[in-house]
Amino acid sequence: MRYLLSLLFCLLAVVAHAAPAGKAYMSIIIDDLGQSSERDSRTLALPGPVTMAIMPDTPHATDFARQAHKAGRTVILHMPMDPAAGPYAWPPGIAIEELARRLDAALAKVPYAAGINNHMGSRMTAQREPMTWLMGELQRRHLFFVDSRTSAATVAAAEAQATGLAHVSRDVFLDDVRTVEAINTQLQQGIALARRQGSAVLIGHPYPQTLEVLQREIPQLTRQGIELIGLHQMIGERGNQAMPAHGRQGRYSNR
């Protein structure tokens, strides 16, 4: 009897060790929307709470923002920042008053935006003064921020954290290489990261290859132990903490 009990405890220990330590969450953002009605529609048809990041200087920005909101999707403003150009873009050295004017104009073009993320911005997100101003302004407007992390020198998320602004940072880009094989590899990297650290934020674009992979693979996430969640829930899960690749002990390294 004692031997059987000992064997039972060993089996239970093995099962407990094999069981996942907790849930693994993933959020997916698709950038650069508003340019093509066909690609916008295909993106909106993706299963699950995929976030729609809409550029203000596109022909379908306003109409698609309304359509996505009506469909129950989270809409965010994909804000152009240097080296992006155009009437809404933020270059370094621009006066705060002009930043505010361009932000107002961009938000007017993308109604129902719950937050913003940066389009490009490798130089702009490294500028501490405008990033500090932006996070305070988003706090005032009750909007959140997603740091796309287009540069290792970004201080955007660090300033959001210092301000107490609701935010997350991107972990994986899906489609720097536009092949189905490469995109699937990046998605699997995101899945592995979510399992390891509890969550992962992925950013992709409405390329046909990206949409093909996501249309096929999103329904399989649950079977792989991943729960796809919206950005509001992801912000709650992360609690404004930096992930290990972005800082130490929850604080961003560029602070």
What is d(CA 145, CA 135) in angstroms, rounded to the nearest whole number? 8
pLDDT of residue 255: 80
Beta bridge partners of 119: 80
For residue 194, the surrounding DSSP H or E stretch is: helix 180-197
pLDDT(144) > 70: yes
Residue with tokens 């996942």: 20
Q: Is the pLDDT of residue 15 over 50?
A: no
Q: How confident is the model at residue 20 (pLDDT cuts 50, 70, 90)?
A: very low
pLDDT of residue 36: 97
Q: Mean pLDDT across the chain, nearest whole number?
A: 91
Domains, the chain, ranges and CATH? 20-242 (3.20.20.370)
Band of pLDDT at residue 232, cut at 50, 70 and 90: very high
Which tens digit of pLDDT belongs to each residue from 150-196?
999 999 999 999 999 999 999 999 999 999 999 999 999 999 999 99
* pLDDT over 70 (residue 125): yes
d(CA 223, CA 227): 9
Question: Is it the case that residue 13 has pLDDT exceeding 70?
Answer: no
Strands (E), the chain: 24-33, 51-54, 75-81, 113-120, 144-147, 167-169, 172-173, 199-204, 226-228, 247-248, 251-252
> CA–CA separation, 45 vs 86, rounded Å?
29
Q: How confident is the model at residue 21 (pLDDT cuts 50, 70, 90)?
A: low
Backbone conformation region of residue 34, classed left if phi is above 0, alpha if psi is from -120 to 50, else beta: left
Cis preceding linkage at 80, omega within 30:
no
Tell how strand 251-252 and strand 247-248 pair up.
Answer: antiparallel
pTM: 0.90
CA distance 167 to 17: 33
| For residue 223, pLDDT beyond 80 | yes
Task: Kindly list the distances between the CA atom of residue 47 and the CA atoms of 141, 170, 197, 218, 219, in Å, as whole numbers in the listed order.
Answer: 30, 20, 24, 7, 7
DSSP letter assigned to residue 154: -
Tell me what the mean pLDDT of segment 24-37 comes to. Answer: 98
Q: What is the pLDDT of residue 9?
A: 33
Looking at residue 5, what is its pLDDT? 31
pLDDT, tens only, 50-105: 999 999 999 999 999 999 999 999 999 999 998 888 999 999 889 999 999 999 99
pLDDT computed for residue 78 by the predictor: 97
Q: What share of the chain in percent tops pLDDT 90?
A: 86
Q: Which two tokens stand for residue 220?
A: 């399989």
Average pLDDT over residues 7-13: 35
Tokens 């693979």 locate to 217
**Alpha-carbon distances of 12 from 6, 7, 9, 127, 220, rounded to whole Å:** 10, 9, 5, 54, 29
Please report the pLDDT score of residue 37 as a whole number: 97
What does the alpha-carbon distance between residue 198 and residue 101 come to, in Å, rounded to a whole number?
A: 38
Report the alpha-carbon angle 32-34-40, nearest 5: 90
Alpha carbons 106 and 201: distance in angstroms, whole number? 24
Query: Strand, coil or helix: what is 70?
Result: helix
Minimal CA–CA distance to 81: which of 55, 107, 104? 55
Q: Which residues have C-beta within 8 Å of that of residue 187, sequence separation ≥ 6?
A: 174, 202, 213, 214, 217
